[in-house]
Amino acid sequence: MSGQHALRKRAALLSELQEIVQAMKNVASAEVQRATRERQALTQALLAVADGLAQCVDMDLPNDTPTLHAGKNSWLAIGAERGFCGTFNARLLQALRSLLLDDPHAHVLLASHRASDRLDSAGNRYVVLPGCATVDDAPAAIDTWLAALDEERRQGRTLWLLHTSESGLVSRRLLPEPDLTSIIASEPAAQDASGPPIHYLSAPLLQAALQRQAFRLLVQTALCESLEHENRSRLSQMQLAQAHLEELGHLMRRRQAAQRQADITNELETLTSILAP
């Protein structure tokens, strides 16, 4: 009966694993929904900011953008802070390696402690920042990232963003001028018949405020896109794991039935041998 006992223990373990995988699926699915809602709201805010910046262009404001060092680029790369999401971090790191080969003066701000564990010999060109695991953690993480980006800006560097979305890896300029073209092209702003919004700032202050807002919104939107894709990848991985566990459970039940039949046969043979004259 020791064989049956071992099989029962293994079956119980498989059952526990199935419960864990189902729980991870539920968490990933909920996080996808939250990240999607947050991204959609941020996109609408970006469209409003883009419209305001377009109006500032019509005001013929002086160009106060500081002179930047040509070829001095800094990249904020958003990685995954949790596992079970396939090749999410591997693809991001591969893109960063190619980027550093093409641009020997580039700096990388890598927002993921988990991804940083896989850095290679080029690691001295990285600054590792805290990652973000959930939408709830986003405000604190973004404040830290923006502080690091501001330090890069003070050095006169052009700031870029690299993150993963459903369409693959996305790169976007943050400074000296936020790149909003893809946002506007993907979801044009609705026409407002009431005319331009009323504001109480001078035109230069308004433009500077809108640019700062666009900067933060772009980072927030990129993080939500990254979390959305990361959790979709995790959900896919958990579905595969669940299918594998179900197959193992089916095989285990067959083995249990076969073992039980073998035990019954042995008992019957033992009993008949004892009762034989």
Total domain count for the chain? 2
Tell whether 37 and 138 lie within a shared domain: yes
Tell whether 228 and 248 lie within a shared domain: no
Which CATH number goes with the domain that contains 105?
3.40.1380.10
Instruction: List the beta strands (DSSP E) in the chain.
Output: 73-78, 107-111, 126-129, 158-165, 168-175
Tell whether 266 and 215 lie within a shared domain: no
The first and second tokens of residue 51, run together, are 């419209």
Q: pTM of this prediction?
A: 0.82
CA distance 69 to 59: 28
CA distance 182 to 193: 24
Tell whether 216 and 260 lie within a shared domain: no
Determine, yes or no, domain membership for 238: no
3-class secondary-structure state, position 168: strand
For the chain (277 residues), the mean pLDDT of every run of 10, in chain order, is 75 89 94 95 90 70 49 92 93 93 92 87 78 94 95 92 93 85 61 53 78 91 96 94 89 82 79 71
Tell whether 52 and 176 lie within a shared domain: yes
pLDDT of residue 205: 81
Domain carrying residue 183: 28-189+200-233
Tell whether 103 and 71 lie within a shared domain: yes
Tell whether 75 and 172 lie within a shared domain: yes
Tell whether 74 and 156 lie within a shared domain: yes
Tell whether 81 and 183 lie within a shared domain: yes
Determine, yes or no, domain membership for 105: yes
